[in-house]
Amino acid sequence: MNRQTPSAASPAISWHRGGSELEPSASRAAFVAALRHGAEIVEIDVRSMRNGNLVCVHDEHLEGLGLLSNLDYDELSPVQQAEIYTLHEFVADLVLHDPAGKTTVHFDLKERGHEREAVDVLLEQGRPLFVTTLIDESVVLLRRERPEVPTYLTIGATTVGKSKFQALRQRSGEFFPFRRIAASKANGIAIHYALARPWTLRWCAKRNLAVVIWTVDRSRDLSTWLQRDIAVLTTNRPLRALELQAGLASEP
């Protein structure tokens, strides 16, 4: 994708964690395969280690190592370091496998405190990107200090570890997220497909706010969302999504 803001004319496909059809999901091999395949958008998670090293890791807890925020990258063994894909390595792979900058980077920021540092790495490279995050304060910060970076408020936080009342209250708010979206001044939303109600999509459309749908994998659901007026469809099965999209485009 050569533009920074996704277009809703035809959903762009975001390769969730590099996709899982060519290589194991979230592995360096998966991201490299996506770039080599000419992915329009690649989604990657960003977290920070104790020493400030930015890494492309989804979970805050690494099996056998502990909390990522308690780990210093430089203190890990070479074998342990090899298990962690750094943002520096990701950028190097972008330069090597996508020198023309055709692939848009979909940064999913998991924590507060390194928002500017993360996006600046790509801005300095002139790379197209957009950001999604569950954290309202991060959206506010980036909209204020990096307004050139499209930033979307993610709707669909986990309810694991919450009481039934807390989970119900959270889900109720996610079905009607309008106040949060407006307060954060987000460029749009990244919403779980099960929470994407028609009234929310209409509300965003009326305000020209982009909609990113995540994470859709079943063929039937992919076909449905590929025909909706959304900006980006995030999936672990991007090749299947592209196949279905081509089929829909060829229909009379």
Whole-number pLDDT of residue 9: 59
Going 29 to 31 to 36 to 37, the CA torsion angle's sign is positive
- The residues, any chain, with a CB within 8 Å of residue 134's CB and separated by 6 or more, are 153, 154, 156, 157
Q: What is the CA radius of gyration of the chain?
A: 18
SS3 state of residue 131: strand
Express each pLDDT in 71-84 by its tens digit: 999 999 999 898 89
Q: Is residue 2 part of a domain?
A: no
pLDDT score at 83: 87
Range of the domain at 42: 12-250
- Any idea what DSSP says for residue 17? T
Report the predicted TM-score, pTM, of the whole model to 2 decimal places: 0.93
Provide the CATH number for the domain around residue 159: 3.20.20.190
Whether 7 maps to a domain, the answer reads no
Number of domain units in the chain: 1
Q: Tell me which H or E stretch contains 87.
A: helix 87-97
Residue 89 domain flag: yes
Q: Cα dihedral sign for 110, 115, 121, 127?
A: positive
Q: Is residue 6 part of a domain?
A: no
Q: What is the pLDDT of residues 96-107, one digit of tens each?
A: 999 999 999 999
Is residue 240 included in any domain, yes or no? yes
Determine, yes or no, domain membership for 237.
yes
Q: How far apart (Å, rounded) are the C-alpha atoms in residues 243 and 245?
A: 5
Give the Cα separation of 93 and 125 in Å (integer).
12
Amino acid 234: pLDDT? 98
Name the token pair of 38.
Answer: 């000419």
Kindly state whether residue 139 falls inside one of the protein's structural domains. yes
CA distance 103 to 197: 29
DSSP H helical ranges for 126-232? 136-145, 164-175, 178-184, 198-206, 219-226
Within-domain flag for 195? yes
In this prediction, residue 65 carries a pLDDT of 87
Task: Give the integer Cα–Cα distance in Å for 166 and 154.
Answer: 18
DSSP 3-state assignment of 143? helix
Q: Give every residue of the chain whose pLDDT is below 50, as ranges.
A: 1-8
In 194-207, which positions are buried (b, 16+ CB within 10 angstroms) versus exposed (e)?
eebeeebbebbeee
